Structure 1
């Protein structure tokens, strides 16, 4: 199933996306297996467990016409507002080869955090704030939505803890992130460089894990103003989704509704920025960035099986 959130009659609602319509779970009425909160909030639905999810499947199949809304009439919001977004940087082989590295690049996941304050939904504006950054970069990333709690989760059991997958655009202030000492030592300031208003566009849907199958076999693309900047497969990850679930579960008890983002492939604007150590390598079909993102730019983040997350950049 594909879950979406949207606004109707002034309330945030949860729905199931079909080919041409959204089934409004709020309009389906009460169900003993589907608490009221689970009809408007995906995290609440996930926490309600398997019985609630099975009830949703059944209710969606028998939904009356008044609960079926044309997709063209619905304004889609971020499908989830996770309290915690656990982030793994430097997780694609090709991306590591195109940028300035740190001593840990490619040897362990670069661990940073974003919060729900960073999240915006599809078609919302990514704010360009020149006081914060003049090197605003965008990155398409596969996002893992946790479905079952766990701590110290073994790799071989990790995908059992996954509810589904979505897309996150890991918007980054490169001139805040990449720092170099006078002696040439490079390090990353991942706080100010990664976590700020509108730095985590998320959506457009959350797809349940059963519809994705192998998360290491998904094609990923980024287009900026129609130009193809990134095109790769999640097979190029250094650490798989299962390995990242294990990795983050050492620090946190992973809980339903938490999100893990899994890194980005080659083709960022950073790769063409010699000042910050970029080392662009030509790849078939990819257009090298001539600059970072500015107001008016349109960003399309696409992953097969999930969809396309579209946002625009706007002046703060």
Structure 2
């Protein structure tokens, strides 16, 4: 299932992308009522497999009865596909070729840092370049959306705790990031974690270690890689993080970026993002997330 979050009536509401268009679940329930069907994204995530089954059954019933009016994608008031993650855990230096271009050794364990709720934004949102930085960079990343409480889970079972996946841009102010040994300031400006446009459930994605991922800046291809190049797999990451903190439904894990970022170029060749630049990150099966920098 491919679902999304919409801004509607002052809150976040659930939509489902169908072949014919986007189904507004709240609007559908108003005319085709059903028990146990979540209409809000975080409620869907907290409801686990039971909520997903209820939603899938509801979609099947609507098809049998005749689908209500659907929205075109340009009619959607897009919001972050995971609007309120309790935790945003990020993995640094997790692609071999990205480590190579940065002239850094491969880490022996996942290199973790965090973002916060103020960084979350969605498809089509403008991202303001903060005053005081001149080195804002893009980073396409596969996002893991947790669907079950996970504490000290084995690697072999780790993906059973994943609800789905989404495309993420781990926007980074490199001058702030490298000012100290802690990366926080360079990673946590407002809007520095656009996610979307969709969350795609794990069953539809299949193997997360075989997904192409790309970044384009003003239409120019900058990053073009595959999750096969990860140093630590999604299963390894979920297991590792869960051994150090309990993961909850709706938590978001960013799994690192491949080669092709501005920071990976020789210093004399680096041209960082500037106002007016449009950045699109795209991952196979997950869709394309586009934001303009202002």
Structure 1 and Structure 2 fold alike (TM over 0.5): yes
- Over 4 Å off, 4+ runs: none
Residue 69 of structure 1 is matched in structure 2 by 71
Q: What is the CA-CA distance between 1:10 and the residue it aligns to?
A: 4.4
Residue 124 of structure 1 is matched in structure 2 by 125
The 1-side partners of 2:11 and 2:68 are apart by 17
Are 1:267 and 2:253 an aligned pair? no
Q: When the two structures are superposed, what TM-score results if normalisation uses the length of structure 1?
A: 0.86
Residue 230 of structure 1 is matched in structure 2 by 223
Secondary structure, aligned partner of 1:128: coil
Q: What is the CA-CA distance between 1:220 and the residue it aligns to?
A: 0.5
The 2-side partners of 1:174 and 1:109 are apart by 20
Aligned length: 287
1:150-203, Cα deviation, whole Å (9 max, x unpaired)? 111100000000000001100001011124xxxxxxx74211111121110000
Q: When the two structures are superposed, what TM-score results if normalisation uses the length of structure 2?
A: 0.92
- Of 189-198 and 62-71, deviating more is 62-71
Contact 1:27 1:67 (8 Å CA) reproduced:
no
Residue 2 of structure 2 is matched in structure 1 by 2
Q: What is the CA-CA distance between 1:254 and the residue it aligns to?
A: 0.8
Q: What is the CA-CA distance between 1:11 and the residue it aligns to?
A: 4.1
Secondary structure, aligned partner of 1:48: helix
Residue 212 of structure 1 is matched in structure 2 by 205
The 1-side partners of 2:87 and 2:207 are apart by 24
Contact 1:167 1:202 (8 Å CA) reproduced:
yes
Contact 1:126 1:312 (8 Å CA) reproduced:
yes
Contact 1:25 1:67 (8 Å CA) reproduced:
no
Q: What is the CA-CA distance between 1:51 and the residue it aligns to?
A: 2.1
1:152-167 matches, cutoff 5 A: 152-167=152-167
Q: What is the CA-CA distance between 1:100 and the residue it aligns to?
A: 4.7
Residue 94 of structure 1 is matched in structure 2 by 97
The 2-side partners of 1:47 and 1:256 are apart by 6
For structure 2, the 5+ residue unaligned runs are none
The 2-side partners of 1:67 and 1:252 are apart by 43
Residue 43 of structure 2 is matched in structure 1 by 44
Candidates 81, 84, 87, aligned match of 2:87: 84
Residue 57 of structure 2 is matched in structure 1 by 58
1:221-280, Cα deviation, whole Å (9 max, x unpaired)? 0000111110000000000000000111112111111011100000000012438xxxxx
Q: What is the CA-CA distance between 1:24 and the residue it aligns to?
A: 1.2
Alignment CA distance shift 1:152-1:271 (3 Å): same
Residue 307 of structure 1 is matched in structure 2 by 287
Q: What is the CA-CA distance between 1:23 and the residue it aligns to?
A: 1.1
The 1-side partners of 2:156 and 2:106 are apart by 25
Candidates 190, 193, 205, aligned match of 2:186: 193
Residue 140 of structure 1 is matched in structure 2 by 140
Please provide the CA RMSD for this pair: 1.7
The 2-side partners of 1:188 and 1:93 are apart by 21
The 2-side partners of 1:33 and 1:135 are apart by 47
The 1-side partners of 2:42 and 2:113 are apart by 22
The 1-side partners of 2:195 and 2:47 are apart by 22
Contact 2:263 2:270 (8 Å CA) reproduced:
no
Contact 1:20 1:71 (8 Å CA) reproduced:
no
Secondary structure, aligned partner of 2:231: coil
